[in-house]
Amino acid sequence: MTRHCFQLRVRPELVDEYLARHTPVWPEMLAEIAAAGRRNYSLFLGENGVLVGYYETDDDEAAQAYLAASEVAARWEAEMGRFFVDLDGRPDQAATALPEVFHLEDQLAAAEDATTSDNDDEGSAA
């Protein structure tokens, strides 16, 4: 499983309409996102229309290919494209990927592994 985060910018004058379009999203689009293998998908909207999205998937290339070939996703993205600033292409394919710099569970696991390894080393030195 991998985590993915992306950023887009909603045109400030269209924020209210953008929010209305997501309350709710078309049921067939929700089904396509799930069928693509994306889960734990969230969008967060900040000041000045900054939109940050997050999802998890086992195979992001396959998920992207599935959605790129989806007629439902193509219709949704065609309608959503006008909401975004400086967008070249479909929003789902042109968003700026954000690299992960911290994940609590990964660092806790690494710290636990280091502690266990240190304890094993102390025991073998005796």
Per-residue pLDDT tens digits for 3-19 = 999 999 999 999 999 99
Between CA 12 and CA 81 the distance in angstroms is: 14
Token duo for residue 94: 């042109």
**pTM of the predicted structure, to 2 decimals:** 0.84
May I ask the CATH class of domain 2-100? alpha beta
Token duo for residue 120: 């094993």
Give 47-81 pLDDT, tens digit per residue. Answer: 999 999 999 999 999 999 999 999 999 999 999 99
Task: Provide the residue ranges of all domains of the chain, joining segments of one domain with +.
Answer: 2-100
User: Stretch 96-111: mean pLDDT, rounded?
Assistant: 94
Could you tell me the end-to-end alpha-carbon distance of the chain, in angstroms, rounded to an integer? 40
Other Cβ atoms closer than 10 A to 10: 22
Distance of CA 53 to the CA centre of its chain: 4
